[in-house]
Amino acid sequence: MATVTFDKATRIYPGGEKPAVDGLDIEVGDGEFLVLVGPSGCGKSTSLRMLAGLEDVNAGAIRIGERDVTHLPPKDRDIAMVFQNYALYPHMTVADNMGFALKIAGVNKAEIRKRVEEAAKILDLTEYLARKPKALSGGQRQRVAMGRAIVREPQVFLMDEPLSNLDAKLRVQTRTQIASLQRRLGVTTVYVTHDQVEAMTMGDRVAVLKDGLLQQVDSPRNMYDKPANLFVAGFIGSPAMNLIEVPIVDGGVKFGNALVNVERDAVQAAADKGDRTVTVGVRPEHFDIVNGESEGKSLSKDAPAGLAVTVNVVEELGADGYVYGSAKVGDEDKDVVIRVGGRAIPEKGSVLHVVPRAGETHVFATSSGERLSD
Amino acid sequence: MTTDTIEDATPGSPPRKSGTPASDTTGWKWRRSEGLVLNAFSHVFLVVWALMVGLPLLWALWSSFKSSGDILSHPLSLPTHFHFDNWSHAWSKANMGRYFINTIIVVGFSTFGTMLFGSMAAYVLARFEFPGNRLIYLCFVAGMAFPVVMVLVPLFFVTTNLGIINTLPGLILVYIAYSLPFTVFFMTSFFRTLPTSVAEAALVDGASHTRTFFQIMVPMAKPGIISIGIFNVLGQWNQYLLPLVLNQGDTSKWVLTQGLADLAVQQGYQGDWGGLFAGLSIAMLPVLAVYIVFQRQVQAGLTAGALK
């Protein structure tokens, strides 16, 4: 097994000015499952293809273990890749598809057969070994693509959105299978997805990219708890974090009719940069509903504490519900999402008063987007 | 308005589906009858066309079993008894056997060469970015537009200087060069339709570019290769102008088309019409056989680029 290192790896497409991947610096540990996630066009697939050797590296280096593979062709990198459209060889049987790499490597037939059958057993493909890909369902094809990677016993698995062609239910099921398979095999894996739920559930660590620039690499938990900037805050989590621009007042920031305590240093840092406002992020589940009760720190005695949110749409999910409402912050109407308990769903059109839970707010500089709170 | 209804009626009654009644159940009788008229008209047209193409072939075939006297006195009658000696005569005396084998050698090697070099060039042009890629591709396209008649004289001198005039290998090389432009043009667009990720998967699996091409891309491009291959076989089998100019030496090296032309001239004087028709049939049947065997693949190949 091996580590994978992106050392300021940069890819500029011919004819382009702006790098598709700009100085990517990531270290993937031995046996680690790293997920690259980001919106489309952020360079995540390009990064993976650079690691696979399918894309040139214009600057920087890529290492697998101690080996510099920056300019090696794919076949010399000892990697296996699962493609988004599976890229199975249409004229070969499932067994031949899975054994192709071994055949090229000159492994003898009995050994190939043994390893293909083992992989087929793991993936529940034994009865389909003699079929051609076109006679398989989408899920089975996906498993063949996985099998083709497994039989190689490579140093690194590369997966390029392998679940995006499956239906929603199968995707959730396969997600767990892939994650547990990876734990069992202990092979270093780099996995690309645009789906942040996949990223959060599968990865040991998650790397968020935007416009070719790495935004943050961290464990899913930390990524969720301490997003490094506004982009990560908005991207990770579903529904997305509420990001509301609020003015800085003495002692904290003003949040509707409530005062939210933010570290003095953080606010000071923003104020020093000349910002009059900061952006406060609150996840939907971190709003407390304080209807009528003025337990929060009300700024004016007359109005109830907290932010008044008019309910527009309610999504009931059974266990809980999401309230999509709008709130007046400053002079603007802002959309706000709040998670409520499954048994306490408010009526459409009603007004909720909410305050962000103490210690669960995120403060970002409005101008630079950097995280201010710690 | 009228044009609209006619256009509407046409797709409801495709000419091929003669047996099935018009499938629309709207109950508009006038529209259905219009469809029937169109249907009948198009079928009559197709039948006439089929007869125009098929009858001369059949006539040549059955005339090859008749004696020369019979052919002249009753040109349209069916053979009363079969003169198989026409065929043996054409095969041995008129050297059609020799020409037949020569043609098979030339067409076999040249088709193989055309397909090999053509698909290799096409794959590189379709899949690899390099300076001059577009220029080379356009040169091939230009080659298609260039009439072969214009290069006959230079071609004669080139082959003479190379010492390959009046030889079968010389003819094979010229055939390959002559067929490459269309083959490359066709195969390039065919390779472009194939998914790139399959070739990438092969590269990641450890295959070299050569192996990727021969073991992955060629099998995937099979429909295209077969249809363009048949196109080349037919074209090269019927090639007359090039052998006439470049292979005019020893008659033992002639190809079928030259032999047939010779037969038409000589046997015409001798009045051996039966032999001429037998020779014609010998030249015609293999092509027919190839087409019948691969008919399905040709159709698949012609539509392969259209759907995914």
Q: CATH number of A239-291+301-365: 3.30.1330.60, 2.40.50.140, 3.30.470.10, 1.10.238.10? A: 2.40.50.140
In this structure, are B190 and B49 located in the same domain? no
Residue of A204, A141, A362, A228 lying closest to B201 (CA atoms): A141
A4-234 has which CATH code?
Answer: 3.40.50.300
Q: Which of A54, A90, A148 sits opposite B200 (nearest CB)?
A: A54
Does the residue B45 lie in any domain?
Answer: yes
B204 and B238: one domain?
yes
- Does the structure show a pLDDT above 70 at B7? no
In a mutational test of the A interface, the residue from B204, B208, B214, B307 whose CB has the highest number of chain A CBs within 10 Å is B204
Contact B206 A101 (CB under 8 A): yes
Query: Does the structure show a pLDDT above 70 at A301?
Result: no
Nearest chain A residue to B206 by CA distance is A75
Reading across the β-sheet that carries A258-260, which strands appear in turn? A258-260, A252-255, A242-249, A277-282, A361-365
Chain A residues with CB under 8 Å of B195 CB are 85, 87
Query: Is residue B115 domain-shared with residue B240, that is, in the same domain?
Result: yes
Structurally, chain B folds into a number of domains equal to 2
Sheet holding A4-11, edge to edge: A21-28, A4-11, A59-64, A67-68
Q: For the purposes of burial, counting CB atoms within 10 Å of the CB of B94, is it exposed (0-12), middle (13-18) or buried (19 or more)? A: buried
Q: Angle at the Cα of A212 (from A208 to A218), degrees rounded to 5?
A: 20
Q: Are residue B166 and residue B299 in the same domain, yes or no? A: yes
Q: Which of A142-156, A159-173, B134-148, B293-307 is predicted with the least confidence, judged by mean pLDDT? A: B293-307
B122 and B208 in a common domain: yes
Q: Which of A209, A201, A232, A163 is nearest to A24 (CA)?
A: A209
Over residues A230-256, the mean pLDDT reads 83
Task: Judge if B138 and B7 occupy the same domain.
Answer: no
Chain B from 206 to 265: CB within 8 A of any A CB: 206-208, 211, 216, 219-220, 222
Q: Is the pLDDT of residue A357 over 60?
A: yes
Cβ–Cβ < 8 Å for A372, A364: yes
In a domain, B76, yes or no: no
Q: How far is CA B235 from the centre of its chain?
A: 5
Same domain, B52 and B170: no
Residues of A in contact with B197 (CB under 8 A): 83-85, 87
CA distance B129 to chain A (A): 10
Closest CA to A55 of A98, A99, A10, A6: A10
Q: Do B233 and B116 share a structural domain?
A: yes
Per-residue pLDDT band for B24 (boundaries 50, 70, 90) equals very low
What per-residue confidence (pLDDT) applies to A82?
Answer: 94
User: Judging by DSSP bridges, how do beta strands A205-210 and A213-218 pair with one another?
Assistant: antiparallel
A interface residues, B as partner, C-beta within 8 Å: 14, 52-54, 73-75, 79-81, 83-85, 87-91, 100-101, 104-105, 148, 152, 158
B197/A83 Cβ within 8 A: yes
A54–B202 CB contact, under 8 Å:
no
Per-residue confidence (pLDDT) for residue B305, from 0 to 100: 41
One-letter amino acid of B7: E
Q: Among all chains, which residue has been given the structure tokens 């192709």? A: A100
Closest partner CB to A85 (pick from B195, B205, B219): B195
Asked whether A224 and A200 are in contact (CB, 8 A), the reply is yes
Edge-to-edge strands, sheet with A320-329 = A287-289, A351-356, A307-316, A320-329, A332-341
CA nearest to B257, candidates B248, B178, B71: B248
Integer CA distances (angstroms), B153 to A320, B143, B157, B246, B248, in order: 86, 17, 7, 10, 14
CA distances from A43 to A17, A19, A21, A39, A56 (A): 14, 9, 5, 9, 13
Q: Which ranges constitute the DSSP H helices of A124-205?
A: 138-152, 168-185, 196-202
Mean pLDDT of chain A: 88
Strand partners, B194: none
Say if residue A321's pLDDT is above 80: yes
Average pLDDT of the segment spanning A193-214 = 93
**Which pLDDT band holds residue B242 (cuts at 50, 70, 90)?**
very high
Domain boundaries, chain A: 4-234, 239-291+301-365
3-state secondary structure of A30: coil
Q: Are residues B149 and B118 in the same domain?
A: yes
Cβ contact (<8 Å) for A152 and B205? yes
DSSP state string for A270-329: HHHTT-SEEEEEE-GGGEEE-SS---S-BSSSSSPSSEEEEEEEEEE-SSEEEEEEEEEE
Which DSSP state fits A208?
A: E
d(CA A360, CA A373): 10
**Exposure pattern of A82-99 as b/e (b: 16+ CB <10 Å)?**
bbbbbbbbebbbbbbbbb
State which residue of chain B sits closest to A154, comparing Cα positions: B205
pLDDT at A246: 82
The torsion of the CA quartet A363, A366, A368, A374, rounded to 10 degrees, works out to: -10
Q: At what angle do helices B168-193 and B96-127 cross, to 10 degrees?
A: 40
Chain B residues within an 8 Å CB radius of A75: 203-208
User: How far apart, in whole angstroms, are the C-alpha atoms of residue A191 and residue B140?
Assistant: 43
Sign of the torsion angle spanned by Cα atoms A340, A341, A346, A348: positive
Which pLDDT value is given to residue A303?
A: 56
Cα dihedral across residues A303, A309, A314, A317: positive or negative: negative
Comparing A303 with A137, the larger pLDDT belongs to A137
- Contact indicator for A314, A324 with CB cutoff of 8 Å: yes
**DSSP secondary structure, A128-147, as one string:** GTTS-GGGS-HHHHHHHHHH
Q: pLDDT at position B15, please?
A: 44
What pLDDT sits at residue A163? 92
Same domain, B102 and B47: no
Q: Do B204 and A90 touch (CB under 8 A)?
A: no
**What distance, in Å, lies between the first and last C-alpha atoms of chain A?**
36
pLDDT at B279 over 60: yes
Angle at B258 between CA B252 and CA B262, to 5 degrees: 95
pLDDT score of B104: 93
Q: Tell me the average pLDDT across A86-98.
A: 93
Residue A122 makes CB contacts below 8 A (sequence gap 6+) with: A147, A150, A181
Between helices B273-304 and B256-270, what is the axis angle to 10°?
A: 150
Q: Is residue B69 in some structural domain? A: no
Over 70: is that where the pLDDT of B174 sits?
Answer: yes
Report the relative pairing of strands A67-68 and A79-82 from DSSP bridges: unpaired
The tens digit of pLDDT for each residue in A8-36 reads: 999 999 888 899 999 999 999 999 999 99
The reply to whether omega before A239 is within 30° of 0 (cis) is yes
**B 158-217 residues with CB below 8 A of A?**
195, 197-198, 200-208, 211, 216
The answer to whether residue B19 scores a pLDDT higher than 50 is: no
Instruction: Give the CA diameter of chain B.
Output: 75
pLDDT-derived band of residue A60, with 50, 70 and 90 as boundaries?
very high
Tell me the chain B residues in contact with residue A104 when contact means C-beta distances shorter than 8 Å: 205-207, 211
Report, as an integer, the average pLDDT of A168-186.
91
pLDDT > 70? residue B2: no
Q: Is B8 inside a domain boundary?
A: yes
In this structure, are B148 and B261 located in the same domain? Answer: yes
ipTM of the complex: 0.84
Contact check, Cβ <8 Å, A100/B202: yes
Nearest residue of chain B to residue A145 (CA atoms): B201
pLDDT confidence bin for B299, thresholds 50/70/90: low
Owning domain of residue B33 = 2-63
| A72-81, A296-305, A345-354, B62-71: which is most confident | A72-81
The domain that holds B257 is classified in CATH as 1.10.3720.10
Cβ density class A27-57: b for 16+ within 10 Å, e for less: ebeebbbbbbbbeeebbbbbbbbbbbbbbeb
**Residue of higher predicted confidence among B272 and A224:** A224
Residue B76 has pLDDT above 50, yes or no: yes
Residues B25, B166 within the same domain: no
